[in-house]
Amino acid sequence: MAFLYRQLKIITLLFSALVANVNASIIDLERSNQKVVQIAVKETPYSLSPYASRGLDAQYSHLFFDPLVRWGQGGELEYRLLAKLKTLKNNKIRFHLKKKIYFHSGNLLTSKDVIWSLNEARKNKCLQRKLQHIVNVKRINDYQFDVQTELTQTQLLDYLSHIFILDSAYYKKNKIDHHSAQTALLPPIKTLPLSGTGPYRVTSFYADVNLRVEANVSYWQNQPLFKSLNFVKIKSIDSRLYALLADDIDISEAISNKNINSVYLLDDKQIYQTTSLNALFLMINETKNDLFERRTARNAIHLAINQAGMLKHILNGTGTFSSKLNVVASDMYEPVYDATRAKYLLKKMNAPKRLSLLVMTDKNDHSQEVVLALKNMLDKVGVKLDVTEVDSIEQWNKVQFNYDLMLANWSSPLIATDNVYQDIFSNSLLSGYLELLFEQQKKPLTMAEKIVLFDQYQTSDRIVPLFSHNKIWATDKQFDLQSVFSVTATPYWHLLNLSH
C-alpha cells in the first residue's frame, strides 16, 4: 500500500506540473494576444501601396499583401499564393493559384487580380526593370495563368517575390491612387485604405508618426501570435536605442554598431544582426588618370587601405570583407595591408600628391567614417585626398568620370545569381564605370562573360569591395527575432514569436 501511495503521489505531482506548464503557456498566449508590440523604425510608409513611386518598404508590404512566392530563412523559395507551377513549351510557365483565399475586402483572389497587379507593377520604374523580361501573361481560368518569359524559372520567381497581389476590384471601384502620399498635416487614416491578402490590417496610419496594425482575422494562414503591432518613427539612431532601454518600445530597427556592447551587458535586452547582399565599393578610375592603367598603381592604393582596421573600428566587427564579391557564398580572407610598400610604389611611380574622390552620401552605409579613414590612410602614403560628395544618382552619373576614385554603396534584395549580377551591371552606381570597362572588349558580351570580367576587375583592383555590413536590431529578450527575418533580411512580422 505504501508503494502504491508513493506512485500515486508521483503521478499527481507530474500531472500538477503538466497543468501548471499548460496554464503558463495559455497565460503567455493571452498576454501576447493582448500586447501591442512597439517597434521603433527609421521611417514610416510614404504611401500604403507597394507600387507607389517611392515604394512601400518590404517589411510593410508583407504586413498587408502576399506575393506569389517569397524567400525563406534558409534561402528556399516558399510558395505563398502560388499552389504549383508547370513548365510548358515555348518558354511558358503555367501558374496555379491556391483556392479560397480572400482579400481584406472579402473579395476572392483570382488570376485576374494577379494579372492586374502585374500591370500596375509595370508602371513603377523599379519594378518595371524586374518585369521587363516577361513577354506575356495570359489568363487561363480563375486559378490558372500562363507567363511567357525569357528568364529561367529561378530568375522569374526571384523577381516575382517582389510583386505583391492587390484586390483589383477594390482598387478599381474606389479609384485608389498608388502615388497618393499621406502627410503629417492630414488626420490619421482609420478606414481601410487598401485590400490585400496579408496577415494584418491598418488600424491607424499617421504619416511621419506611426503605423498601427491589427491581425486579419480572416487570414488564409495561421493567425499571428501578436495581434497588434505599432510602428513608431524615431529618426535618430541614438533615440531609438534610448527608447528601447527605457522600455518605451520593445524592438528597435537599425541601432549603431558602436552601442552593441552596452546592450550585450543588459540582462533583459539583446542584439540581432541580419546579413544581406551589400558592399561598399571603391572604384579606381583608370580613364581619368593614365597612372591607374597600371595594375601596380591600383594595387598600391589598395595596399594603403587597412580593410581589417575599418571592419574593427568602423563596423565594430558587424560585417565582413571578401577577396572578391561572390554572390553565391563570400570567400572570407584577410586583405593585405602594407602602407610601407604602398608608399614606396607610389613614390617610385611618381604618383600625384593629390587625388580626387567622389562619394555618394548615404547615412546608412558608413560612408562618412570611411571617407575620413581613407583620407588618413592615404595621407600616410603621401597622397592628399580631395573629396566631393553628391546626393543623387543624376549628379553621380553626370560627374563620376571626372574623379580618380569613386566610393559607392550597393545592395540587392535579389537572390538568383544572374539577377544579382544584372542588378550590379545595369542598376547600380557601379553600372556606368562597368559599362565603360565592358566596352573595352569591343564586342557584345554574354552575362557569363560579364561575370568573369567583373571578378577580374576586382582581382586587378579596378574595383575594390571594402566591406559589407550587417543591419543591427535590438530587442527585449522576450521576443525571438530569429524567427522573423528572411535570407534577404526582410522581416515577416506575422512570424514574430516569444523567446523560449
Q: At what angle do helices 295-303 and 339-348 cross, to 10 degrees?
A: 150
CB-based contact 134:160 (threshold 8 Å): no
- Higher-scoring residue by pLDDT: 328, 189: 189
188 vs 349: which has the higher pLDDT: 349
Q: Which residues contact 98 (CB under 8 A, 6 or more apart)?
A: 81, 82, 83, 109, 220
Cβ-proximal residues to 439 (8 Å cutoff; 6+ apart), any chain: none
- In this structure, how many other beta carbons lie within 10 angstroms of the beta carbon of residue 67? 23
User: Looking at residues 391-407, what average pLDDT do you find?
Assistant: 95
More confident residue, 186 or 5: 186
- Mean pLDDT throughout 218-240? 95
The residue count for the chain: 500
pLDDT band at 54 (very low <50, low <70, confident <90, very high): confident
Residue 452 has pLDDT above 90, yes or no: yes
Cell (9 digits) for 473: 536590431
Q: What is the pLDDT of residues 146-179, one digit of tens each?
A: 999 989 999 999 999 999 999 999 999 988 877 6
Q: Which residue has the cell 586587378?
A: 460
> What is the predicted pLDDT for the residue at 7?
52
Cα–Cα distances (Å) from 258 to 10, 39, 254, 264, 347, in that order, read 53, 21, 12, 12, 37
pLDDT over 60 (residue 257): yes
Confidence label for 181 from pLDDT (cuts 50, 70 and 90): low
**CB of 46 within 8 A of CB of 205?**
no
Question: How would DSSP label each residue in 106-130?
Answer: SPBP-HHHHHHHHHHHTTSHHHHHH
CB atoms within 10 A of CB 281: 21
The partner residues of 413 in beta bridges, in order of sequence, read: none
Quick check: 25 pLDDT over 70? no
User: pLDDT for 121-149, tens place per residue?
Assistant: 999 888 888 898 898 999 999 999 999 99
Query: Nearest to residue 271, comparing CAs of 282, 281, 259?
Result: 259
**pLDDT tens, position by position, 211-223:** 999 999 999 999 9
Q: Is the per-residue pLDDT at 197 higher than 90?
A: yes
pLDDT above 70 for 348? yes
CA torsion, ordered 300, 304, 307, 309, to nearest 10 deg: 160
Type of residue found at 118: L
What is the per-residue pLDDT for 176?
80
List, in sequence order, every residue forming a beta bridge with 322; answer none if it has no partner.
332
- With pLDDT > 70 as the criterion, what percentage of the chain qualifies? 87
Comparison of pLDDT for 185 and 225, the residue scoring more:
225
Arithmetic mean of pLDDT, 383-398? 95
User: Is the pLDDT assigned to residue 191 strictly greater than 90?
Assistant: no
- Specify the pLDDT at position 74: 86
Residue 260 confidence (pLDDT): 86
Residue 186: what pLDDT?
56
Contact yes or no for 214/228 (Cβ under 8 A): yes
Average pLDDT over the chain, rounded to an integer: 88
Q: What is the dihedral of CA 18, 20, 24, 25, to 10 degrees?
A: 20
Angle, helix 367-380 to helix 339-348, in steps of 10 degrees: 60
The CA distances from residue 104 to 35, 65, 212, 214, 223, in Å, are 23, 10, 16, 12, 14
Residues with Cβ < 8 Å from 306, sequence gap 6 or more? Answer: 337, 339, 373, 377
